Amino acid sequence: MRKSFMQSLQIGFMAAASIAILPSMSVAGTYDLTVDRVIIDTGDFQKEGIGYNGKSPGPVLRFKEGEDVTINVTNNLDESTSIHWHGLILPFQMDGVPKISFPGIEPGENFTYKFPIIQSGTYWFHSHSGFQEPDGAYGSIVIEPEKRDPFRFDKDYVVQFTDTHPHSGKRIFRNLKMSADYYNRQQQTLGDFFSDVRKNGLKATIDDRMAWGDMRMMKTDIEDVQGFTPLINGKGPEQNWTGLFEPKERIRLRLVNSSAMTYFDVCIPGLKMTVVAADGNNVQPVTVDELRLGVAETYDVIVRPMDDKAYTIFGASMGRTAYARATLAPREGMVAEIPEMTKAPLLTMADMGMDHGNMAGMDHSNMKGMDHSSMKGMDHSNMKGMDHSNMKGMEQEKDSFYANGSGLVPTAANGGKFLSYADLKAQKPLYEDREATREIELRLTGNMERYIWSINGVKYEDADPIVLQYGERVRFKFVNETMMTHPMHLHGMWSILDVGAGKWDPAKHTISVAPGTTVYSETEVDAPGQWAFHCHLSFHMDAGMFRKIFVEGGPKSASLNPSEQGVLQ
Amino acid sequence: METGIGTENMKIKRTFLSGVAGATLTAVLALSSAIAFAAGNHHGSHGEKSVIGISGNAADVTRTIEIKMGDNFYEPEEISIKKGETVRFKIINTGEFVHEFNIGTAAMHAAHQEEMMMMVEHGVLEVDKINRDMMKMDMGNGKTMEHNDPNSVLLEPKETAEIVWKFTDDAELEFACNVPGHYASGMMGEVHFE
Amino acid sequence: MIILKKSLLAAALTFSVLTPVVGHSAETSNIYYGVQIEEFEYRYGEGGEKLFAFDGDAFIGTDELKLRWEGSSELDLTVNRFESLSNQLALQTPISDFWDIKGGVRYTSPEGPDRWYAAVGLSGLAPQWIEVDTHLFLSEKGKLSADIDIEYEILLTNYLTLTPSANIDAAFSSDREIGVGSGINRVEAGLRLSYDVWDRILSPYVGVVYERKFGQTANYVEEEGERADIWYAVIGAKLMF
């Protein structure tokens, strides 16, 4: 405790001092990254992948707010590469998306990224080329704030989740294109049929199977890609990454999900987590038992173990096909019990964006003649008034970020509080709240069977860029018409998630949109140039759920000619 | 099944009845304040027996400690006290959120946090505003949500307050902000006895 | 030989159609390929018949346009001759969420006279997860015929699959030279129990197949001293890569 007291005193002095000194003082740091072929050992299997500075995950890059960073990247691969600084606000030429920000970094070449750090918090970086990211090309970023954080911690750990698959990204994608359910080993079987018959009766079970069969969709279609080993900081469940603490210390865990495809429900049995930041931005602290870490999101949580014992950091994949495990312990080698995963969720008709009376004895008479294609045009605004009063499973808490009656609504394993997007409120809003100048509707669309993913029914390769005007505030309306959850990531500008909190709405870089829901976010268009906007599930992005954003106008300094600013050597 | 659904609906509705003291709320509040009292939050008449100390006399004040409230932390985060000392706390909310300064034991704070959570859920407490009229509302058993205990103050941004407190015992005490999330994210400080 | 050259030419032509798409290099290629062998099996008939049977396809292309090769054969192992042998090369394009149409050429070259066909087809996933693949053929002799393949997978577990399938051939007019009578002339029904031992790459199976020929077609085979209906026990493997 004394230490933290001293620390905060020091920080207090430094903050006071820096006000006077900073304007004349500019911190500059140089960092070197090599992009390498590496061996990844998950404990279950070894594979060749891609990493940084000889390792996957790559290093934790530690920057300071106000610093001008220079990052020299050397491509040791035999293919083109790139690095995108996920969540960082920077000139678009430094954003690292081939063909949008810059041409990419060819084999054997160097590229020097130079940009000022104008934010703080937890972020990450990854390749934006080919399937390098699912193959292991990621690392994390920790930016120390200029002023003190609005919370206290004695220890600080990055907890980076990844989903390492024995297959290469390229192969996974081809397999999905060949057979969309290639990796789904959780499909309903004949055994499930009989157990459902016992539970719900023969007619109800047949009706249920017919309804889903009619759509040619699966209730178990929650994870497109199964068979991976979840890692935390590069360690599999058996390898057990361990963070040390002394009892009563406050530990800041920087949860980062760098997975290609996997959402994790994260809890630490025996400890409450106080969420203090989401996607790098501080939020008003909210104490929870469990949270869902969407792909590409970050959450900072404070935990305070009071006892001299080990605690398990447990991250069950959303489809419950695998779990990540790490340990917080007073001493190396101590372990705690690994909890059982709770039951795998099943999608419901609500996740399909469809009306329904009650799930158990559902009357399908109206559904028989339903044309699948007509679902597309369904007006989701009418869904609000749907009567779900007869639904089973209503005991669960409502979460407005899931469809009413959704099978995906998370519940904490210990029955406690599960974080909702609705709980996220900005600690210090980045922008003044104002009316959006216009709304852009983005329907998240796809064809699961063909493994085609798109926006407004159009794949990236066939789509025109979305043109925004510098200085406007755009309201994006995401309408998820698919049965998958899509983490939508806008580069270069913040997405202010509409949680209904007005000026306290939190600014995020990745907005997870659950099936059958409509979610709004607003963006202050304050970054000229061209940017990427896409679903962060790697294989959805590659399949076409991607758009180029073109910001018209703004300061001239942001020239659209990449060669003027990018330093290709 | 029918009745089960009925209760379920009622429960959901109730959480939307912000600011209205439903029957459940009254009961829970009464219960949790009873817990808090049992934990020693009762002052005044039983003052001598309370480990946290008692409301002090201005005449006995030996020194003034200034406590700045930020979002969401105190400055300082640690104070040193002599057993039996009477201290004047000058508390300034320099932040943009509502904050509390409350002297108590960790257990008392934990119990009080549940009450504060309820105040937020019922709209009594907003992020940057205290609806003091609602706090005065009778919860049905003569108790209110008012923060008029001498060991604590609840301040809106820019507000200041003073507390004169006599530390009668060298118990393990903390000063804390029990606004939801604040204590857990570190808005508390230790009272050390010399 | 000439025929082989012809089919190579056809392949070359179709690939050249695709080349511009290949040339358009996105960060990740949007050209996919795949090979699926549904049947690769040894059949043992109730009368001691020994056959090797094969049914598979391979494709390369984009979401919008694929070149697909489909091949099937039955090799009588006792006399070492092809009872049936068919190769088809077609371009395939989606027409709805679950259905593709295809058009191309088919060449059959079993023991006996060969035939070229123009082929059009419809394949996809019908409601209730029923896989359907059907064609209409016009032979170089001007004869019209059709076939339909349907298949359904029953998951006993997520690795152990029971697959009933049916295959029906029909002709709108007879082509005596190749032993085809008009009407429904052949039905093959199968039931295979497979287990995925290596991803979905290799799934060995055992099963039964019932084959029955009808009408004129039945007469033709019976004239040759063969049975018009026959049960087989089969053992083989599904392959996908």
Q: What pLDDT, on a 0 to 100 scale, did the predictor assign at position B20?
A: 37
Could you write out the DSSP letters of every residue in C32-77?
Answer: EEEEEEEEEEEEEETTS-EEEEEEEEEEEE-SS-EEEEEEEEEEET
Beta strands in chain B (DSSP E): 54-55, 63-70, 73-75, 78-81, 86-93, 99-104, 125-126, 129-130, 152-155, 160-166, 173-176, 188-193
Option in B5, B96, B186 nearest A389 (CB): B5
Which pair of tokens denotes residue A350? 């609500």
Q: Are residues A445 and A534 in the same domain?
A: yes
Of A342, A371, A386, which residue is a domain's last?
A: A342
| Mean pLDDT over each residue of chain C, to the nearest integer | 89
Report the interhelical angle of B23-36 vs B106-121 (nearest 10°).
Answer: 160
Q: What is the pLDDT of residues B124-166, one digit of tens each?
A: 899 999 988 887 766 666 666 666 788 999 999 999 999 999 9
Contacts of B180 in chain A (CB under 8 A): 285-287
Residues C42-64: b if buried by 16+ CB within 10 A, e if exposed = ebbbeeebebebbbbbebbbbbe
Q: Are residues A48 and A116 in the same domain?
A: yes
Compute the nearest-CA separation of B71 from chain A (Å): 6
Inter-chain touch A274–B77, beta carbons under 8 Å: no
Q: What is the pLDDT of residues B21-37, one digit of tens each?
A: 344 444 444 444 444 44
Interface residue A131 vs chain C (CB under 8 A):
yes
Q: What is the pLDDT of residues A243-268, one digit of tens each?
A: 999 999 999 999 999 999 999 999 99
Region B59-84: mean pLDDT is 94
In whole angstroms, give the CA distance from residue A196 to residue A204: 9
Please compute, for residue A527, the number of CA atoms within 13 A of its CA located in the half-sphere on the CB side: 20
Compute the nearest-CA separation of C5 from chain A (Å): 29
Chains linked to C by 3 or more Cβ pairs within 8 Å: A
> 3-class SS at A441?
strand
Task: Look up the pTM and report it.
Answer: 0.86
Q: Are residues A79 and A40 in the same domain?
A: yes
Inter-chain touch A151–B185, beta carbons under 8 Å: yes
CB-based contacts of B62: which residues, under 8 Å, 6+ apart?
Answer: B85, B86, B87
| Mean pLDDT over each residue of chain B, to the nearest integer | 77
Does residue A281 lie within any of the structural domains? yes
Which amino acid, residue B183?
Y
Shortest CA distance to A306 belongs to which of B120, B172, B40, B70? B172
Torsion sign, CA atoms A501, A502, A503, A505:
positive
Kind of pairing between the strands at A495-497 and B63-70: unpaired
Q: What pLDDT, on a 0 to 100 scale, did the predictor assign at position C224?
A: 82
Q: Are residues A41 and A128 in the same domain?
A: yes
Q: What pLDDT, on a 0 to 100 scale, did the predictor assign at position B145?
A: 66
Query: What is this model's ipTM?
Result: 0.88
Shortest CA distance to A541 belongs to which of A88, A173, A86, A104? A173
Judged against a pLDDT cut of 60, whether residue A168 lies above it is answered with yes
Contacts of B8 in chain A (CB under 8 A): 394-395
Chain A residues in contact with chain B using a Cβ-Cβ cutoff of 8 Å: 1-2, 4-5, 8-9, 12, 148, 150-153, 250, 272, 274, 276, 284-287, 302, 304, 389-390, 394-395, 398, 425, 427-428, 504
In whole angstroms, give the CA distance from residue A152 to residue A161: 24
In whole angstroms, give the CA distance from residue C19 to residue B68: 71
Q: Mark which residues 194-253 of A lie under 8 Å from C by CB.
A: 210, 213-214, 216
Q: Mark which residues 170-199 of C lie under 8 Å from A by CB.
A: 199
Inter-chain touch A276–B75, beta carbons under 8 Å: no
Q: What's the domain range around A364?
A: 189-225+344-423
Give the angle subtended at the CA of A409 by the CAs of A206 and A180, to the nearest 5°: 60
Beta bridge partners of A69: A29, A115
Q: Which residue of A has its CA nearest to C58?
A: A178
What residue ranges define each of the domains in chain B, with the CATH number in brackets? 2-193 (2.60.40.420)
Q: What is the pLDDT of residues A349-401, one digit of tens each?
A: 999 887 543 333 333 333 333 343 444 434 434 343 333 333 333 334 578 99
* Domain positions in chain C: 42-240
Interface residue B6 vs chain A (CB under 8 A):
no
Q: Are residues A401 and A464 in the same domain?
A: no
Looking at residue A268, the DSSP 8-state letter turns out to be: B
Shortest CA distance to A345 belongs to which of A222, A259, A192? A222
**Interchain contact A/B (3 or more Cβ pairs less than 8 Å):** yes
Q: Are residues A449 and A539 in the same domain?
A: yes
Query: By 3-state DSSP, what share of chain A in percent is helix, strand and coil, each rounded to 5?
Result: 15, 35, 50
Q: What pLDDT, on a 0 to 100 scale, did the predictor assign at position A410?
A: 94
Q: What pLDDT, on a 0 to 100 scale, did the predictor assign at position A22?
A: 44
> What CATH number corresponds to the domain at position A231?
2.60.40.420
Q: Which residue of C has its CA nearest to A215?
A: C127
Q: What is the pLDDT of residues C117-159, one digit of tens each?
A: 999 999 999 999 999 999 999 999 999 999 999 999 999 999 9
**A89 against C216, higher pLDDT:** A89
Of A318, A342, A366, which residue is a domain's last?
A: A342
Does residue A514 lie within any of the structural domains? yes
Does residue A30 lie within any of the structural domains? yes
Q: What pLDDT, on a 0 to 100 scale, did the predictor assign at position B2?
A: 36
Does residue A10 lie within any of the structural domains? no
Option in A12, A272, A428 nearest B184 (CB): A272
Shortest CA distance to A522 belongs to which of A447, A423, A409, A431? A431
Q: Are residues A31 and A92 in the same domain?
A: yes
In whole angstroms, give the CA distance from residue A479 to residue A265: 24
Does residue A181 lie within any of the structural domains? no
Beta strands in B18-72 (DSSP E): 54-55, 63-70
Beta bridge partners of A511: A488
Judged against a pLDDT cut of 70, whether residue C191 lies above it is answered with yes
Does residue A429 lie within any of the structural domains? no
Q: Are residues A491 and A480 in the same domain?
A: yes
Q: CATH for C42-240? A: 2.40.160.40
| Terminal Cα-to-Cα distance of chain A (whole angstroms) | 50
Interface residue C34 vs chain A (CB under 8 A):
yes
Q: Are residues A307 and A158 in the same domain?
A: yes
Q: Are residues A137 and A256 in the same domain?
A: no
Interface residue B175 vs chain A (CB under 8 A):
no
Compute the nearest-CA separation of A287 from chain B (Å): 6
Looking at residue B39, the DSSP 8-state letter turns out to be: I
Inter-chain touch C129–A175, beta carbons under 8 Å: no
- Count of domains observed in chain A: 4
Q: What pLDDT, on a 0 to 100 scale, did the predictor assign at position C227?
A: 85
Does residue A182 lie within any of the structural domains? no
Shortest CA distance to A489 belongs to which of A471, A515, A508, A472? A508
Does residue A468 lie within any of the structural domains? yes
Q: Which residue of A has its CA nearest to B113?
A: A287
In whole angstroms, give the CA distance from residue B83 to residue B80: 10
Which pair of tokens denotes residue A42? 């998950």
Beta bridge partners of A317: A264
